[in-house]
Structure 1
């Protein structure tokens, strides 16, 4: 009987090691996926900005050489920082677009989807805007501002009361 238990323990240890290995691979792939989603969002916004400029009659010279100005070490350009929620914080502590999203979610009668948030924050209902907003919603979930009990449905986090105000 001892050899059977020993065999089971060996198999269990091997499977446990494989599970840990796969979890590590998933973490790496998840980080790569987030980086690519971020890149896709930036490219989409850039294209939309160029289209808006063209629609306004601003001449956009696509053949002009691209000049990259050096950025100081540690200096971040064009990034909105979403801080993790802590006791006493309110949506006023967020960058404007994130504040608008949290306020819309707080005012909703129940969980909402990204496509329901987009028009309420003043964006046109287009796939690129919905996906960009979904990314922001996911970021707010990661930082504790919102909850996603069901995939794709966002609600205020149970840790904070909707419309929290700092004293």
Structure 2
């Protein structure tokens, strides 16, 4: 009877060994999958850090006049124009620019707007004005012509 018990024990040991080897193989596969996912997450973290840094740099590069805060939330000081929107929503300096362009007999150059506002036409001033005119054009308040002149969209 001892001999009958011995084969049963060997079969149990063999079966258990097979189960454990199968479990070890599955665990090894899971470990490999976890390591691969960890590598992917590390890459994603690097990409997220780079994008965050790019956004930070871009935000710092935006002129202070381009954005403001209302109730602690960033807003555009020059909002995109929508049907029925009045120029009164624009900051005062942009309203004065719109007035100069509107009063002109035709499309205006940047230097004409500077002169109309009593500003110097030196390059630093005219480039700052060009940026404001472009911002107004990008947001639908003015129209920029192919020759670089600006006109009202009305």
With the length of structure 2 as denominator, give the TM-score of the two structures.
Answer: 0.51
Paired residues, what number? 91
Q: Hey, which bits of structure 1, 4+ residues long, moved more than 4 A?
A: none
**Cα displacement (A) at 1:119:** 1.9
1:105 aligns with 2:71: no
Of the three residues 83, 87, 102, the one matched with 1:87 is 83
Of the three residues 123, 147, 153, the one matched with 2:143 is 147
Give the helix-richer structure, 1 or 2: 2
Distance 1:80 1:101 in 2: 17
**Cα displacement (A) at 1:149:** 2.0
**Cα displacement (A) at 1:80:** 6.5
| Secondary structure, counterpart of 1:150 in structure 2 | coil
Distance 1:137 1:87 in 2: 20
Q: Which runs of 5+ in 1 are unaligned?
A: 1-34, 43-73, 162-167
Q: Which runs of 5+ in 2 are unaligned?
A: 1-57, 65-71
With the length of structure 1 as denominator, give the TM-score of the two structures.
Answer: 0.47
- The CA deviation string for residues 93-113 of structure 1, in whole angstroms up to 9 with x for no partner, is 100111111111111110011
| Equivalent residue runs for 1:111-122 within 5 Å | 111-122=107-118
Conservation of the 8 A alpha-carbon contact between 1:118 and 1:130: yes
